[in-house]
Amino acid sequence: MGQSFIDRYLMVACACMLLLGGCAMHYHDTTDRVKWDDIPKLTVVDRIWQRDADTIRLRLPAASVACSEGVWSAPYDRLLWLVAKLPFVKTDDGDHLLPDTGIGYPARTSATVISRRRWPTMRQADLAFVESVSVGKGAFLDFGTTIENGVWQFRVCGIVVYELDGIALGIPVLKTCRYIAFDNPNHQVRFSVTESFSPPVDSVWQNYPMRERLAVPWVTIPINGVSIELVADSGGGPRIILNPEQWKALAPNVRVVSHKESSYPTWGGPQPIDEYTVKNLTIGDKSIGRAKIWVRQPNGRDFAPTIGLGPLADETVVFDFERMRLWVGGKTHGERD
């Protein structure tokens, strides 16, 4: 009850502050906050692993995963799911962790987290090495991470009221699992090391082949009858994100209610977009109804079009790495009807 009350209180407080004005999301550089000289140094020496008081020298091994039961679950951070439709969970050390299938390298970690955990770093390459990150009954082991030298802050009248740092695990680490299931209706993620995914026979599922390109999984999904290729990105957030040419192909098939220029937060700063509100969005055979679509502006940094978990917030989304398929569904026939 306590956590639910806190979530609701923060949501109401944030909504009130937004209505009153003076609120802003701000990307803040944390380079000067981190005492890099106090963190162990990392150097790479071919096929050698040595440890002494000050230095770790190693050749980075392949990531692995350990779990006492083979399959385990972790609850979403409710506030970040409600606000941003991002499936952050908490590590046993209390850090935010995002299983992010839109990242093609092992991990990206805030410098502030690396500083707290004293993970060995190679500053000239903005790299660090992580021996273990525990999440409930499982742990991800032995992976390198790039360093993110900034955090997102929510400010009210210039005062920081919330700051988000954390760890984003990418495909090379996540694929050590046979599948990962984002159970959005129940706000939890399930990791499987030993079991293959088998969709329950009493529920309805759609599935799409995943193709790995640019080190991340791509799927082709019909949107309002138009086949569109997208990155299946668990860290993609609340909206479908298209490139301008994809929007041009889709636009004749949707009814636009409104349009405005906007932006959304990404690693490194805000991404400029055109935001379209449409009346009749459908994804596969699922009718979404009124929804927003983000279209990246040509001068933005990111380039890959994505579908995150937000448009599928009332579905379970399964990344089946063993068979390279994306499963969407989980509702019974009665619930579908």
The CATH number covering residue 124 comes to 2.40.70
Cβ 201 vs Cβ 78: under 8 Å: no
Residues 241, 98, single domain; the answer is no
Is 318 a domain residue?
no
Residues 81, 187, single domain; the answer is yes
* 190 residue type, one letter: R
The CATH number covering residue 279 comes to 2.40.70.10
Cα 165 to Cα 289: distance, rounded to the nearest angstrom: 34
Domain that holds residue 262: 203-309
Is 235 a domain residue?
yes
Per-residue pLDDT of 293-332, as tens digits, reads 999 987 766 668 999 999 999 999 999 999 999 999 977 5
Confidence of residue 335 (pLDDT cuts 50, 70, 90): low
User: Burial of 170 by CB count in 10 Å (0-12 exposed, 13-18 middle, 19+ buried)?
Assistant: buried
pTM: 0.87
Which residue among 137, 162, 192 closes a domain?
192
Whether 10 shows a pLDDT value over 80: the answer reads no
User: Which pairs from 116-121 meet CB under 8 Å and 24+ separation?
Assistant: 117/93, 118/38, 118/39, 118/40, 119/39, 119/40, 119/145, 120/39, 120/40, 120/41, 120/42, 120/55, 120/56, 121/36, 121/39, 121/40, 121/41, 121/42, 121/147
Tokens for 256, please give them: 């636009």
Which residue among 192, 226, 247 closes a domain?
192
What pLDDT sits at residue 248?
Answer: 96
Is 18 a domain residue?
no
